[in-house]
């Protein structure tokens, strides 16, 4: 059985790229905060890892609000003890996500590598 991960990322091209690179994992993705909350509620106990982009829309019709992603990381951390990765090209956003509950950080290009090491796949 494949390990399941949650990717919270609004760029569908990045999700596709990561999914191809992480073929040994089952990828559940969310492109908005609202979708991420729903998927987390449905699968939380089964996630081997969660990847969070630093700027994700609250819902498809909204504006970007980095504070909402930080709140999401803190909310997940309250009930999820597994690895959470802050994935952003902006080191300040990664630092903020780490403060909000993420356990690892990296630039987006390194997500497949860090996941492979963390999950031993």
The answer to whether 51 touches 85, Cβ cutoff 8 Å, is yes
Instruction: Give the range among 34-38, 57-61, 82-86, 114-118 with minimum mean pLDDT.
Output: 57-61
pLDDT of 67 > 90? The answer is: no
Please report, for the chain, the start and end positions of each structural domain, with discontinuous segments joined by +.
Answer: 3-119
> What would the two tokens of residue 105 be?
């950080």
CA distance 40 to 17: 22
Architecture of domain 3-119: 3-Layer(aba) Sandwich (3.40)
pTM for the whole thing?
A: 0.92
85-120 residue pLDDT tens: 999 989 999 999 999 999 999 999 999 999 999 999
Q: Are 83 and 50 in contact (CB under 8 A)?
A: yes
Residue 64 in this model has a pLDDT that exceeds 80: no
What's the CA gap between 35 and 42, in Å, rounded? 11
């Amino acid at each position: 059985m494949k390990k399941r991960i949650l990717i919270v990322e609004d760029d569908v091209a990045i999700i596709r790229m990561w999914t191809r690179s992480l073929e040994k994992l089952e990828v559940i993705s969310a492109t908005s905060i609202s979708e991420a909350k729903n998927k987390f509620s449905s699968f939380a106990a089964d996630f081997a890892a969660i990847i969070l982009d630093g700027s994700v829309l609250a819902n498809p019709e909204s504006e970007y609000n980095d504070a909402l992603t930080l709140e999401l990381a803190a909310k997940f951390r309250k009930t999820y003890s597994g690895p959470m990765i802050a994935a952003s090209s902006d080191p300040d956003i990664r630092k903020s996500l780490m403060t909000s509950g993420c356990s690892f950080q990296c630039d987006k290009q390194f997500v497949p590598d860090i996941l492979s090491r963390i999950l031993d796949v």
